[in-house]
Amino acid sequence: MPVTQHVLESSPNPRYRLPLRFSVAAVTVTGTAAMALAAAPPASASQDLGHRYVALGDSFTSGPFIVPHEGDPALCLRSQSNYPSLVADRVGAETFVDVSCAGATTEGMTEPQDLGLGTENPPQFDALTEDTTLVTVGIGGNDFGFGDVSLKCAALSGTDPHGAPCQEYYTDGGGDELADRIARTGDEVAEVLSGIRERSPEATVAVVGYLQLLPEDEGCWPRVPFAEGDVGYLDSVQSDLNAALEAEAEEAGMSYVDVFERGHDMCADSSDRWVEGIFPDKPAAPIHPNELGMEETASSVLETLGTGATAPLP
């Protein structure tokens, strides 16, 4: 099955489901972080990674509404400025294959992903080969159902803006449904990592976590409509999801890219924000990374890989 493939020459300058009702906005160039990513030439360490780079993942990888988009199928909404594209540029990838897709789950690694309108994304694992040298994978958010959880919690916030109606909803009965979801998601991600190693045994593999969505305690209702008491609960849930991804990466002997940095969530000032809110100010899907978030993620990936192919961000 066909995959999106970009052949790049080495040069010194080189689990959230999306509602499709949102329109694409005009792109805004966030120059400082982009310049930092381009500042240093690909280091010699990166040459071992750059033969064939495959990017797997969901919409936090593909970068919906960060225009321009490219690739087939179009409904995967792969941005030319997503973090895999930036990483490929910096490691001087000879072959770069980005099969990430908005709405992808772990099932989409081995089965076609139905995108509606008679289109589908082929199994993402189809892109993996024995000679693949680098794989990044960002998956699990849609298996957990963070998109659905976000919508439910936003809807409940109006019933008790200063309380914790969402936490009460998911812990009704004495258990914690979201904790159970995280455990199941960890098992599903473990299978994905095993599948990557089986198909690309010599590849360096980096599991990429999810950017911080909410502050640690105090939110910004109604701009980001989560009840005051639910903000800390949802933040801890996301932290637990990232911890599960990190644990599975460690168990598989793979690198984990920690991008959960405080102060850049949906409630942050526009200049500091890496993830847009329900009503984005910058080109991005709601509750998804903007261009700056993608640049920061790329920088973290490169730092984790130890390529030396990035300069510090200002």
| Residues assigned a catalytic role | 59, 288
Distance CA 43, CA 46 (A): 5
How many helices (H) does the chain have, and how many strands (E)? Answer: 10, 10
| Residue 277 backbone dihedrals phi, psi, to 5 degrees | -85, -165
Residue linked to tokens 């770069």: 96
Tell me how far apart the alpha carbons of residues 117 and 53 are, in angstroms, rounded to a whole number. 30
Looking at residue 201, the DSSP 8-state letter turns out to be: T
